[in-house]
Every structure is written in C-alpha cells, then in structure tokens.
Amino acid sequence: MKKIGFVVLLYILCLVNIFSQDFNQSEKIKAGDLTLLSEEISDLALAKMNKSDLRLFRNMIYAKYGHIFNSEELTDFYSQFDWYKPLKKVSDSQLSEKELKLVKRISIFETRNETKTSIKFGNEINGIWHSSPIMPDTWLDRFVIGPNDKIEFLIDNFIENPEVSEYLGHYEIKGNTLIFFVENVVKNKEVLKTNETLQLKFPITSVSEVSFMNGGLIRQMIKIGSREYYLFYGNPRS
C-alpha cells in the first residue's frame, strides 16, 4: 500500500513539474525578471497569459531601455525593480528585430476578445493544421482539430526530446478566441492526465484560401495565435 501511495505521489509531482517548467512566464513577469526577454517564448506560453500579463510583458521590453510611460500604473509597476531607470521615450526603432517580433506577437494575443460575436465554424475547421504550407521531411508544429470539439497540439518533430510532445483536450470558440482546455499531455511517449485542466487562449481567424507559387499551390489557411496554419490530411504522428 505504501508503495502504491508513493507511485501516486510521484505521478502528481510529475504533472505539477510539467506545467511549472513550461508555463512559469507569468511569475517571471510579475517578478520583473529580465531573463524572460532572452528566452524563446512559444505561442503556448502567450496563450496561457491573461491580458494583464501580456500588457506587462510587452511593456517590459520598453521598460528595459528606460522608457518613460504615460501610464501611472505601468510606471508604478516597473519602478519597484532596481533595473528600471526612466530616462526617455523609447521608440520601436530602438528595439532589436527579435524584440520587435516579440512585441508584434504579444500584441496579436492582446486582440483576444471573448465578448465579440463568436466566429462560426463548420466542418471546414476539422483536419491537420500545419505551421508550413509545404511539407518538409516530417511534420512541424500542428493542431489536429476533429469532431465533437476535440483538439490536439503536436510539437515540431524536428525538436529532439521535448519535455512535452503533445497537448490533448477539447476546445470552445468564444468571440475571436479559441480556448483550448488541455486535459492530457504526452511526455516521453506516455499519456498523462493533467492534475487540473489548463486553459490556453489563442486569437483565431476564419478559414481562408491562399495560393503559392503563382497559384500552383492552394491551401486552406487559418491564423491561430501569432502563426498561420495550413490544412493537411494524413497521419499527424507519422
């Protein structure tokens, strides 16, 4: 009995570890941890943040350079950190290309609005939504959306030994937002049930048709988060 109890405890700790490692950016934002700006921030991480976190994260990029904010709220927040020295108005031209790209991606997530009239989808949303219009040697990041509001997110196959390779659950569309309720994850090829449902919120657009190579390649496209995804069929785990 003691052995069974230990295994159960270890299992729970493992689940907690998954999410504390992958989704601790909000804590770093609130702590004013500038190392966050040098990390690779995924759309999954941005989808976990609420609007307040997104706003603070975006403005942290400007605060790092000593931007003087018009907002008293932002000024008060960053003033609690020793590194913030308000000196000047910082323009986008003073940011690096990487920083500008991050600002743009965060801003896209800030457009989430669950109170708008919800985008309506039929069967056109079902399929494999791949992050490239052309298939390389193997799958890149992709969403797999199916009937009965089932949804999966599978990590790029080129990434070796990811901490978590798949996120599994169901979804709901509210306004222009796809809410992904993560109920299971795949870690080291083992399906683990999450100890609590994780909500990831992505801005989403309607499906549209796009062409490439002078019309020689036509794909159905949807924007989820800050990226474009293209409709494919087949085995998403091949």
- What does the DSSP 8-state code read for residue 69? P
| Phi and psi torsions of 54, nearest 5° | -60, -45
Token reading at 52: 């307040």
Residue 22's pLDDT band, with cuts at 50, 70 and 90, is low
Instruction: Return the exposure string of 8-43: e unless at least 16 CB atoms fall within 10 Å of the residue's CB, then b.
Output: eeeeeeebeebbeebbebbebbeebbeebeeeeebb
pLDDT of residue 7: 39
pLDDT averaged over every residue in the chain: 90
Residue 147's pLDDT band, with cuts at 50, 70 and 90, is very high
Note whether 48 and 26 are within 8 A (CB).
yes
- Average pLDDT on 88-103 reads 96
Note whether 154 and 140 are within 8 A (CB).
no
pLDDT of 19 strictly over 70? no
pLDDT of 113 strictly over 90? yes
pLDDT of residue 236: 94
d(CA 179, CA 181): 6
pLDDT of 213 strictly over 90? no
pLDDT, greater one: 183 or 12: 183
pLDDT of residue 214: 87
pLDDT of residue 2: 47
